[in-house]
């Protein structure tokens, strides 16, 4: 009867350890997917930044063209007003873009760190669950040997 209870307990422990292992694997996969999504969003922001930089260069080139045409018409006052206002506007826009990118990147970096910590935690839990399963299997084997030793001792005594 005790052997039956011990066997039942060992089976339950193994099932619980396997359930925990499966849960840890699912959480690790979810964290990995979230991490990959975060990286994708980060690369999209970098691409947008590159496009905006190109657009900024185009605006500067147009501004320089306008500025030089104005100088050719010998209207220095108008030229200074266009150049000063346009450059100020462009610099302000660039500053806003950089600030937006910094905010977005900072949020992604924080998310990535959190996901890395979660992945580390899940790997640790998975490793611990494996150790518990191994220990349960070893305990189960050592308990199975006890009755065999008694049987061997009785047969030895009969001889």
pLDDT, tens digit, for every residue of 74-125? 556 656 656 666 666 766 777 787 777 777 777 777 887 888 888 888 888 8
Contacts of 66 (CB under 8 A, 6+ apart): 82, 86
Give the per-residue pLDDT at 141.
58
- Which pTM value belongs to this model? 0.34
For CA atoms 135, 137, 143, 145, the dihedral sign is: negative
* 122-156 pLDDT per residue, tens: 888 877 877 777 776 666 655 665 676 777 778 77
Backbone angles phi, psi at 34, to 5 degrees: -65, -40
Q: What is the pLDDT of residues 34-43, one digit of tens each?
A: 888 888 888 8
């Amino acid at each position: 009867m005790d052997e039956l209870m011990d066997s039942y307990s060992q089976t339950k422990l193994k099932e619980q350890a396997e359930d925990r292992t499966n849960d840890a694997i699912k959480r690790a996969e979810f964290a990995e997917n979230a991490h990959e999504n975060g990286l994708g969003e980060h690369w999209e922001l970098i691409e947008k930044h590159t496009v905006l930089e190109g657009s900024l260069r185009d605006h500067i080139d147009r501004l320089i063209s306008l500025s030089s045409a104005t100088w050719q018409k010998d209207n220095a006052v108008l030229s200074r007003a266009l150049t000063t206002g346009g450059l100020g506007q462009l610099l302000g826009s660039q500053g806003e873009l950089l600030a937006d990118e910094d905010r977005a990147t900072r949020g992604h970096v924080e998310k990535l760190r959190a996901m890395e910590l979660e992945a580390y935690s899940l790997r640790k839990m998975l490793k611990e669950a494996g150790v518990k399963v191994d220990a349960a299997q070893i305990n189960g084997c050592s308990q199975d040997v006890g009755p065999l030793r008694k049987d061997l001792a009785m047969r030895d005594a009969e001889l």
